[in-house]
Structure 1
Amino acid sequence: LKSNREHERKAAIKNGFLADPDKPRKLKDAITPVGTCQDMCSEFERVSRIYERDVWAPEHVRNRTTSRSKRVPMESRMVKKFRRAAAGIDEQLPSDLRPPLVLQKTVDYLLNSLLSESKSLADVHHFIWDRARAVRNDFSIQQLTKVPDVRVAIECYERIARFHIVSMHKLAMPQKPYESYEWFQEREQLDKTLLSLIQYYDDNRARYRSPNEAEFRAYCIIFQIHAHVPDMEHRIQEWPEDIMWNSRVQTAMKLYAAAGTVRNYQGPMRPESTFKTAQQNWMGFWEIVKSPQVSYLMGCVAEVYFNQIRETAMQCIFRTFKQGGATRCRDWTVQDLVPALGFDTEDEVKSYIQAHRFQILTREDGKEY
């Protein structure tokens, strides 16, 4: 296989399918590789990883009674691993790269077949996370321009983005769902996926319009809550009217605006400060989140900023109603804090405020504050 690989590389360079690393080339003359691999994982990688004992659990014959050391690799279940581009590593051959329809089949397998047969998301999450990254890398290397290929790429990126959004919600646990899981890496890959997706939308608008563009534009708006872009409304007005006035985009803007009333962003030269706002500013954010207009996935995205809103609300309450000396403010009962902090029960409020080192006392009327 190694010998065949060298012959393939020389032939690809000779026929203009691959750039010669020993010959400088102008950017305008750059060669874009075209994938020819018809499997989810190339034969060379399958054999190499089996030999190196680098076969992941989902790539073995399904038999839960067999010990890990005795599991048998199943080549039809093997999916290309992500590998970083680095000095000293040869450029991928056409036989390493999967064309769009094969990449689509791979995404179908990962997000339909593999997920449905697994006990939980955590069991296969890291595998899918890595393989989805490799899928995006194959798309990126091939720089697709044909409309049918672009359509497939956009659909795959949209599905991968949804996977990351759901994973951020489902795997946000007090304890790690598995040892190597890192929430920030999930968010990082989601950001990169959305960035590429938006570029696909913008670059191909005259040739192809995804029916799901408004959905993902809405997610991007919500993800700007932490940055609070001053000219967000102006930017949205530059989008096509059907996107700008889409109900999801409008709901996302309401969420964005509600979150923006909680914090006062002074500009790039001054740090942000907290408004001494009234209770309804926080209530407005939570009411929108609970409304039918917010889809499950939009709720998952907004959840990223729940603690930010809660912490700001607690700071506002403390600073606004703080009294000097031994006098204590009894205006905010635990019951009042349930909607103000976006919780469902008083027990959740108690756990949260106690974690922030606030005391819970009882008034004469028996209500906790």
Structure 2
Amino acid sequence: MDDSSRRLQQRRNQPSFSSSSSTGPTRFRSQNFSTNPTKTTQSSNSVPRSNFTTATTPNNTRNPGHIRNRKSETYDGISQQQEEQEAREDVGSIIGTCPFMCPDGERAQRERLRDLAVFERLHGDPRKTSPSLAVKKFCRTISVKHVQASDVRPLAVLEDTLNYLLNLLDSSEHPFEVVHDFIFDRTRSIRQDLSMQHIVNDRAICMYEKMVKFHVISHQRLRNCTSSSISSLQYLNMEQLTKALASLYVLYEANRNNNFVYENEAQFRSFYVLLHLDSKNQQMEESLSYWFRNVPSPVMKSKEMHFARQVLRFYQMGNYKRFLCTVSSEASYLQYCIIEPNVNEVRALAISYINNCCYKLHPYPLEQLSKLLRMKELDVESLCHACGLKITSDDGENKSLPTKQTTFSIPKGSLQSYELVGLQQ
């Protein structure tokens, strides 16, 4: 047998190898913390998609109240050496031990750099603070592999920190945009600490609901601010609102036990639907038709979700009468905070319909228009002027809107907020 024949025979006799690897679904570990001791949290079959930050620390022990970080899949192109390196890094999630709202090292460094917000300054001194004033800042470039446990706040400290921050929300000493900027940054830091520790229990759900509520209220209150940078603040607030909502929905699913629904879940789910009223909102990436498939049946049947779907349908149809009537009679305070900008848009749309469609020889009574738009008569007059329309009055001082005016135009920028008559706060 010549050399080429022997080599061919050797290749045929060699065993063949195939590269394939797969892992089973990642499962949640049971949680130690619960706001209701009688409620048993059932493990989920698989980890829902989440935007939580992956956080592992080589030198920390595992905590049974936290979720272990696991690799979801091993790909064929990864070498064995890379897999072993990742396995060494994947040893568990960090357990925070910092007893203060801000770690000692960060507090001292920020004193040296005079990097203290007005709410953190001791007696107004930009170089001095205290453990009862300083709050840990959000750090975008944090390296979770090298985080020390002493720099991460445990759950109880995070709860106290959040309550402290939200108590500042009604502060009248500073403009709202200043208050918002401080709470905005520090709540992001709280979410970061929760993510690094993989805390997904009922107490974390309560905290996320409070943070979502902060962003929803800010969505309304920022519209009344006059700062030159208010548009960027509104955009950033909306961005964090949608991210916090997405994380909250993941937490709901992670703690789902059969058909159990959290007390506030229906209302917080309705926010996602109401945010679709704004066609300019670039944060809402997932279509509603797909999103509805993942909403639990009890939530879909709730009055909160029914209200949100009705309002969205009336808005898309241009049915301003039923839209305003439904909002004024059924909206909760938080739902109205989201809807309010659209309420004024619908009112302007109604005025344009009346101006274009009514008879020119029959001016539209302002008193009747105020009832239709659920506004005070003075506010209706102000809105008509903002839209470029004139108001007339007869000898009895009854005011009317002359129709067929060609000067109508939607005001540039955001419309002024007017009270919605009949709104149940």
In which range does the TM-score fall when normalised by the shorter chain? Answer: 0.7 to 0.9
Return closer, same or farther for 1:90/1:320 CA change in 2, 3 Å cut-off.
farther
Higher relative contact order (CA 8 A, sep 6+): 2
Q: Is the aligned partner of 1:283 residue 2:335?
A: no
Which structure: greater helix fraction? 1
Partner of 2:334: 297
Partner of 1:275: none
1:312 alignment counterpart: 349
State yes or no: 1:218 paired with 2:279: no
Structure 2 counterpart of 1:49, from 110, 118, 121: 110
Aligned to 1:139: 194
Q: Displacement, 1:139?
A: 1.9
Instruction: Please give the per-residue CA displacement for 1:166-198, whole angstroms capped at 9, x wherever unaligned.
Output: 222234216239989822222222122112111
Q: Is 1:330–1:363's contact at 8 Å kept on the other side of the alignment?
A: no
Shift, 1:329, TM fit? 6.2
Question: Alpha carbons of 1:56 and 1:179: their partners in 2 closer, same or farther (altered >3 Å)?
Answer: farther
Which residue type is aligned with residue 326 of structure 2? Answer: I
Matched, 1:357 2:388: yes
Q: Judge conservation of contact 1:283–1:339 (CA < 8 Å) in 2.
A: no
Q: What are the equivalent positions in structure 2 for 1:189-268 lying under 5 Å apart?
A: 189-206=240-257, 209-227=261-279, 232=288, 236=292, 239-262=295-318
2 CA distance for matches of 1:56 and 1:174? 20
Deviations along 1:258-302, one digit per CA (max 9) or x if unpaired, are 22221xxxxxxxxxxxxxxxxxx21211111211x3221111121
How many angstroms apart in 2 are the aligned matches of 1:96 and 1:308?
47
Name 1:274's counterpart in structure 2. none
Task: Return the offset for 1:214.
Answer: 1.0
For the Cα contact (< 8 Å) 1:333–1:367, is it kept in 2? yes
**1:80 alignment counterpart:** 136
Report the AA paired with residue 102 of structure 1. V
> What is the aligned partner in structure 2 of residue 367 from structure 1?
399
Distance 1:71 1:14 in 2: 35
Which amino acid letter does the alignment assign opposite residue 130 of structure 2? M
Q: Distance in 2 between matches of 1:143 and 1:153?
A: 10
Q: By how many angstroms is 1:243 displaced?
A: 1.6
Could you tell me how far apart the structure 2 residues matched to 1:311 and 1:116 are? 31
Q: Which amino acid aligns with 2:95?
A: V
Mapped partners of 1:190, 1:339: distance in 2: 34
- Residue-pair matches, total: 318
Once the 2 structures are TM-superposed, how far is the Cα of residue 320 of structure 1 from its aligned partner?
Answer: 3.8
Return the alpha-carbon distance in structure 1 between the equivalents of residues 186 and 220 of structure 2: 20
Q: 1:90 to 1:311 in 2, by over 3 A?
A: farther
Residues of 2 paired with 1:16 and 1:330: CA distance?
Answer: 79
Confirm or deny: 8 A CA contact 2:111 2:126 kept in the other structure. no
Residues 213, 334 of structure 2: 8 Å contact kept: yes
1:309-328 per-position Cα deviation (integer Å, ceiling 9, x unaligned) = 2343344344545x8xxxx4
Read off the aligned partner of 2:243 and give its amino acid letter: K
Q: Counterparts of 2:237 and 2:363 in 1: how far apart (Å)?
A: 40
User: 5+ residue gaps in structure 1?
Assistant: 1-11, 263-280
1:231 and 1:167, CA in 2 relative to 1: closer, same or farther beyond 3 A?
Answer: closer
Code of the residue aligned with 1:346 in structure 2: it is: E
The one-letter code matched in structure 1 to 2:382 is: S
CA deviations on 1:182-240 (whole Å, 9 max, x unpaired) are 22222222122112111222233238753211120122221122359998578547533
Q: Tell me, what secondary structure is at the counterpart of 1:165?
A: helix
RMSD between aligned residues = 3.7
Question: Mind listing any 5+ residue stretches in structure 2 that lack a counterpart?
Answer: 1-56, 63-68, 70-80, 402-425
Contact 1:165/1:300, CA 8 A, preserved across alignment: yes
Choose 1 or 2 for highest CA Rg: 2
Counterpart position of 1:153: 204
The share of aligned pairs that are identical, in percent, is 29
TM-score, normalised on structure 1?
0.72
User: What is the CA distance between 1:79 and its match in structure 2?
Assistant: 0.6
Q: Structure 2 matches for 1:156-167, cutoff 5 A?
A: 156-167=207-218
1:239/1:364 Cα in 2 relative to 1: closer, same or farther (>3 Å)? same
Alignment partners' CA distance in 2, 1:156 and 1:250: 26
Partner Cα distance (2:120, 2:287) in 1: 48
Measured against aligned partners, the alpha-carbon deviations of 1:339-358 in whole angstroms (never above 9, x if no partner) come to 4444x222222222222222
Q: Matches of 1:312 and 1:180 in 2, distance apart?
A: 23
User: Counterparts of 2:88 and 2:274 in 1: how far apart (Å)?
Assistant: 38
